[in-house]
Amino acid sequence: MTNTQRTGLTLGIIGFCIPLLVNFQGLSIAGHVAMSIFLLAAIFWMFETIPIYSTSILVIFSQVLLLSAEGIIDYSSVAEYDPQSYTQFIGTLANPIIILFLGGFVLADAAVKYDFDKNLTRILLRPFGTRTATIMLGLMAVTAALSAFMSNTATTAMMITVIIPIIAKMDAGDPARIGVALSVPFAANIGGIATPIGTPPNAVVIAALNQQGLSVAFGSWMLYALPLAVVMLIVAWQVLLRLHPPATEFVALDMDSKLQTSTHAILLYVTFGITVLLWVTEGFHGIKSSIVALLPVVVLTLSSAFGKQDIRKLPWEVLWLIAGGIALGISMKDTGLASWLVGGIAWGDLSSIMVLVVFGAVALIMSNFLSNTVTASLLIPLALTLVTSGALEGVFGMLMIGLVIALSASFAMILPISTPPNAIAESTGVLKTKHMLLSGSIIGIIGLALILLLSVFYWPNII
């Protein structure tokens, strides 16, 4: 265990014990217990005392043990809290958002298995020619498109293998080598915001909105977020070009591609196309995106196109992480902890736009140092409480604040630790932290500004 982890363990234990030993005026007994779990989770997530998915598992276990009707604490004499069955906490593993991500993971991993991702990348890059600037734009467009439906980490890992030969063909002192290396992780982060399955913070926020009775369709999310993704992709491209102007004007690329024609590969192509089509047209046929997500799981496993070993390789830890965030939100809401925390701030003195500014800025800053999924998990229960307290109004307010938090969290990219794509890109050996810090800060600030502009001029007209 490292010194940082030891510090996290010590602070986590202290944080867990404080609410159990100190009486916070106006907070219920169950609220004190929920605060203990919240502080333990927040500190463990911040310091990565244990793997972040392990913290989520610990959250769910603690809630079952301390906050459920079958747990060790008897709340029968406590009027402020009516404990529900332990199944509401462990049931988060079967939440529709978890199923949606599971379907996305199966599609993404199957695409890798049959080289569909690599061949599709080569096909999509061809129209961008051999100019360095347009190649960079092509790399970003393809990365963002793939990241909208695949894990941005997996997308970046694949695209790094594409850019390494490109960088090798450029002059050693060409500043654009840095721009090309940064283009992939930045595009992966931006592309993930476009769909509900693009990045975990989207799932955390949509799940929290579902708990409030607000269902967000796959196509509706794209309507809200896709314009932002497209504009920010162009902004990021221009920022990289200006900070790292190409000295090598043309780069010769090998764009040969050959799609596999086996029965299983063809089945994947058809299933991929039908699934994505059903996802983006949910508003027309009414089939929930989480139900559609079962299609690739069923078809590809029944046909053995996706076998037992493939299932074992799925990123199950991500699903645990999301489930823990959902469960944390449930306990904070049901015990009154979220309302109590928000009630300590004079939100009534702030306008609606200032509330959005505060949560957007906090999400952006926190996500640069924490997992963006963790950031969304911590902020969204508190933010949704503001809607019921009047700082924002009704369904519109819930959706607005949820969008601001999810999207702002995805624009955190100033450090190698900010997102897995950044860490992967650093492995090229071309990048230094200062490169990410400057360009990532500019893109993050512009992204936050555009999100706030959308919340004023765009979203109110389409919600």
pLDDT digits (tens, 9 = 90+) for 407-442: 999 998 887 766 778 877 876 778 777 888 899 999
User: Is 221 buried (19+), middle (13-18) or exposed (0-12) by CB count in 10 A?
Assistant: buried
Average pLDDT over residues 265-281: 87
Whether 92 has a pLDDT exceeding 80, the answer reads yes
Closest Cα to residue 195, out of 282, 296, 322? 282
Mean pLDDT of 378-391: 75
pTM for the model: 0.72
Q: Look at residue 284 and tell me whether its pLDDT is greater than 90.
A: no
Q: Please tell me the distance from the alpha carbon of residue 311 to that of residue 306, in angstroms, as a whole number.
A: 7
Residue type, 225: A
Distance CA 398, CA 199 (A): 20
Given a cut of 80, whether residue 291 has pLDDT beyond it is: yes
Q: How far is Cα 412 from Cα 282, in angstroms, rounded to an integer?
A: 30
The pLDDT of residue 140: 93
Q: Is the pLDDT of residue 256 over 70?
A: no
Indicate whether 145 pLDDT > 80.
yes
pLDDT at 161: 67
pLDDT band at residue 403 using 50, 70 and 90 as cut-offs:
very high
- Mean pLDDT across the chain: 85
- pLDDT at position 14 over 70: yes
What distance lies between CA 440 and its chain's CA centroid? 17
pLDDT at 363 over 80: yes
- Would you state the pLDDT for residue 130? 76
Please tell me the predicted confidence (pLDDT) of residue 370. Answer: 66
Question: Is 70 exceeded by the pLDDT of residue 348?
Answer: no
> pLDDT grade, residue 253 (50/70/90)?
low
| Mean pLDDT value across residues 399-414 | 91
Amino acid at 449: A
Structure tokens, 327 = 């469960």
In this structure, how many other beta carbons lie within 10 angstroms of the beta carbon of residue 94? 10
Please give the share of the chain, as a percent, with pLDDT higher than 90: 34
Closest C-alpha to 139, from 456, 443, 421, 423: 421
Choice among 19-33, 83-97, 309-323, 339-353 with the minimum mean pLDDT: 339-353
Residue 343 has pLDDT above 90, yes or no: no
C-alpha span between 434 and 441 (Å, rounded): 10
Mean of pLDDT values over 77-95: 86
pLDDT of 194: 93
Specify whether the CB–CB gap between 370 and 46 falls below 8 A: yes
In the predicted model, is pLDDT for residue 121 greater than 80?
no
Residue 369's pLDDT band (cuts 50, 70, 90): low
The residues with which 131 forms a beta bridge, in sequence order, are: 250
Number of residues that this document lists for the chain? 463
Asked whether 259 and 291 are in contact (CB, 8 A), the reply is no
> Which region among 11-20, 164-173, 388-397, 440-449 has the lowest average model confidence (pLDDT)?
388-397
Q: Is the pLDDT of residue 72 over 70?
A: yes
Tokens at residue 159, please? 């695209």
Whether the pLDDT of residue 448 is over 90: the answer is yes
Q: Which of 36-50, 166-180, 262-276, 420-434 has the highest mean pLDDT?
A: 262-276
Q: How confident is the model at residue 342 (pLDDT cuts 50, 70, 90)?
A: low
Tell me if 47 sits within 8 A of 39, measured CB to CB: no
Task: Please give the backbone phi and psi of residue 131, each rounded to the nearest 5 degrees, phi first.
Answer: -70, 140
Q: Which comes out higher in pLDDT, residue 158 or 82?
A: 82
* Per-residue pLDDT, 255: 63
What pLDDT score does 276 carry?
A: 81
Q: Is 146's pLDDT higher than 80?
A: yes
**294-323: b (≥16 Cβ within 10 Å) or e:** ebbbebbbeeebbeeebeeebbeebbbbbb
Quick: pLDDT tens for 206-247. 988 988 888 888 889 999 999 999 999 999 999 999 999 988
What digits encode the pLDDT tens for the residues 56-68? 899 999 999 999 9
Indicate the pLDDT class of residue 405, thresholds 50, 70 and 90: very high
